[in-house]
Structure 1
Amino acid sequence: MMAELPIAIVLLVFACAGGVICVSGVFMTGLADKLADRTGLGEAIVGGVILGAATSLSGTVVSVTAALDGRASLAFSNSVGGIAAQTAFLAFADLMFRRANLEHAAAEVTNIVQGILLVLLLLIPMAALVTPEFTILAIHPASFLIPVIYIAGLFVCRSVQEEPMWRPVKTKETREDTPDDEDEKTASKTTLRLGLEFGGLMAVMGLSGWLIAQSGSALTDRLGISASLVGALLTATVTSLPELVTTLAAVRRGALQLAVGGIIGGNTFDTLFLTAADVSYRDGSLYHAATNQDYFWVVTAALMTTCLLAGLVVRERSGPAGIGFDSLSLLGIYLGAIALQVLAF
Structure 2
Amino acid sequence: MLSFLNDMPLSLAIGLFVAFAAVIGVVGTRLAHIVDDLADRTGLGEAIAGAVLMGMATSLSGIVLSVSAALRDQPELAMSNALGGIAVQTLFLTAADIAYKRANLEHAAASIGNLMQGTLLLCMLSLLLIGRFSPEVTFWNVHPITPLLFIGYVYGLHLVGKAQANPMWRPSRTRETKVDEPDEQALQQSLTSLWLLFAFLAAILGISGFVLERSASVIAQESGLSQAAVGVLLTSVATSLPELVTTIAAVRRGALTLAVAGIIGGNAFDTLFAAASDIAYRGGSIYHVVPDSVSLWVALSLLMTGVLIMGLIRREEQGPGRIGFESVAIIACYVAGVAMVLFNGSQDAG
The answer, yes or no, to whether TM exceeds 0.5 is yes
Q: Tell me the residue number matched to 2:217.
A: 217
Structure 1 residue 98 displacement after superposition: 1.1
Normalising to structure 1: TM-score of the pair? 0.97
The answer to whether structure 1 residue 233 and structure 2 residue 218 are counterparts is no
Runs of 4+ in structure 1 displaced over 6 angstroms? none
AA aligned opposite 2:310? A
Q: Tell me the residue number matched to 2:325.
A: 325
Q: Tell me the residue number matched to 1:306.
A: 306
- Residue 62 of structure 2 contacts residue 81 of structure 2 at CA under 8 Å; is this kept in 1? yes
The answer to whether structure 1 residue 109 and structure 2 residue 112 are counterparts is yes
- Residue 39 of structure 2 contacts residue 49 of structure 2 at CA under 8 Å; is this kept in 1? yes
AA aligned opposite 2:322? G
Instruction: Measure the CA separation in 2 of the matches of 1:253 and 1:129.
Output: 40
Give CA deviations for 1:210-264 in whole Å, capped at 9, x if unaligned.
Answer: 0001111111111111101111111011000000000000000010000000000
Q: Tell me the residue number matched to 1:53.
A: 56
- Residue 293 of structure 2 contacts residue 344 of structure 2 at CA under 8 Å; is this kept in 1? no
Match of 2:185, SS state, is coil
Instruction: Measure the CA separation in 2 of the matches of 1:152 and 1:145.
Output: 10
The answer to whether structure 1 residue 138 and structure 2 residue 121 are counterparts is no
What pairs with 1:93-242 in structure 2 (closer than 5 Å)? 93-182=96-185, 187=188, 189-242=189-242
CA RMSD of aligned residues (A): 1.0
Instruction: Measure the CA separation in 2 of the matches of 1:328 and 1:67.
Output: 34
Instruction: Measure the CA separation in 2 of the matches of 1:108 and 1:246.
Output: 19
| Residue in structure 2 matching 1:21, options 16, 21, 24 | 24
Match of 1:78, SS state, is helix
Instruction: Measure the CA separation in 2 of the matches of 1:340 and 1:140.
Output: 28
What pairs with 1:212-291 in structure 2 (closer than 5 Å)? 212-291=212-291
| Residue in structure 1 matching 2:66, options 42, 49, 63 | 63
Instruction: Measure the CA separation in 2 of the matches of 1:264 and 1:45.
Output: 11
Instruction: Measure the CA separation in 2 of the matches of 1:127 and 1:58.
Output: 26
Q: Tell me the residue number matched to 2:339.
A: 339
Structure 1 residue 66 displacement after superposition: 0.2
Normalising to structure 2: TM-score of the pair? 0.96
AA aligned opposite 1:124? L
**Number of residue equivalences:** 342
Match of 1:56, SS state, is helix
Give CA deviations for 1:100-124 in whole Å, capped at 9, x if unaligned.
Answer: 1100000111110110010110011
AA aligned opposite 2:128? P
In structure 1, list runs of 5 or more residues that go unmatched.
none
Q: Tell me the residue number matched to 2:348.
A: none
Structure 1 residue 344 displacement after superposition: 2.3
Match of 1:133, SS state, is coil
AA aligned opposite 1:242? P
| Residue in structure 2 matching 1:81, options 77, 80, 84 | 84
Instruction: Measure the CA separation in 1 of the matches of 2:162 and 2:135.
Output: 36
Instruction: Measure the CA separation in 1 of the matches of 2:128 and 2:269.
Output: 14
AA aligned opposite 2:51? G
Match of 2:184, SS state, is coil
Instruction: Measure the CA separation in 2 of the matches of 1:5 and 1:118.
Output: 38
Of residues 3-12 and 240-249 in structure 1, the stretch that sits farther from structure 2 once superposed is 3-12
Instruction: Measure the CA separation in 2 of the matches of 1:239 and 1:130.
Output: 28
- Residue 81 of structure 2 contacts residue 231 of structure 2 at CA under 8 Å; is this kept in 1? yes
Instruction: Measure the CA separation in 2 of the matches of 1:142 and 1:105.
Output: 36
Structure 1 residue 342 displacement after superposition: 1.4
Structure 1 residue 343 displacement after superposition: 2.4
Instruction: Measure the CA separation in 2 of the matches of 1:77 and 1:7.
Output: 21
Instruction: Measure the CA separation in 2 of the matches of 1:70 and 1:142.
Output: 20
Structure 1 residue 3 displacement after superposition: 3.8
Structure 1 residue 301 displacement after superposition: 0.7
AA aligned opposite 2:83? V
In structure 2, list runs of 5 or more residues that go unmatched.
346-350
Q: Tell me the residue number matched to 2:94.
A: 91
- Residue 51 of structure 2 contacts residue 261 of structure 2 at CA under 8 Å; is this kept in 1? yes
Instruction: Measure the CA separation in 1 of the matches of 2:128 and 2:245.
Output: 29
